[in-house]
Amino acid sequence: MLDRLAKALDTVMEALSTPLKVALVFLYMLLMLFWLFTIRLYGYYPVVGLAISQIPVVFLVVKEIRRQMHLLPKTEGFELNSEQMDEAIQEYVGMIKRKRSRVHQKS
């Protein structure tokens, strides 16, 4: 049950990832402007708030880096070794011979 819920949540987050990231960037820009304005007015005390507001962005970046690290390397569609290739060629030649023999038998 929880596995299905986690999979559904991952699917929803993947579907919303681009709009969500765009919205987070704009929110981040607004927070930066706010904290820069408050630092100008109140000195360097709001720097703590600035550091705390950076945590969600850092979390998303670290999460994406970890996800990329754990992905399996991409492979091409399929790989054939020489034995499989020889077997496929022999099957193809046999199929052609059977087809030719059927055509000759009918005529």
Q: Where are the domains of the chain?
A: 1-53
Q: Encode pLDDT of 46-103 as tens digits.
A: 888 878 877 877 787 788 778 777 776 666 556 667 888 888 889 999 999 998 888 8
Distance CA 96, CA 107 (A): 17
| Number of Cβ within a 10 Å radius of residue 35 | 19
Token pair recorded at residue 97:
């011979």
- The predicted structure's pLDDT at residue 9: 72
Average pLDDT over residues 6-21: 71
Distance CA 89, CA 80 (A): 12
> pLDDT at residue 16 above 70?
no
In single-letter form, the type of residue at position 64 comes to E
- The predicted structure's pLDDT at residue 83: 84
DSSP 3-state percent helix, strand, coil across the chain (nearest 5): 80, 0, 20
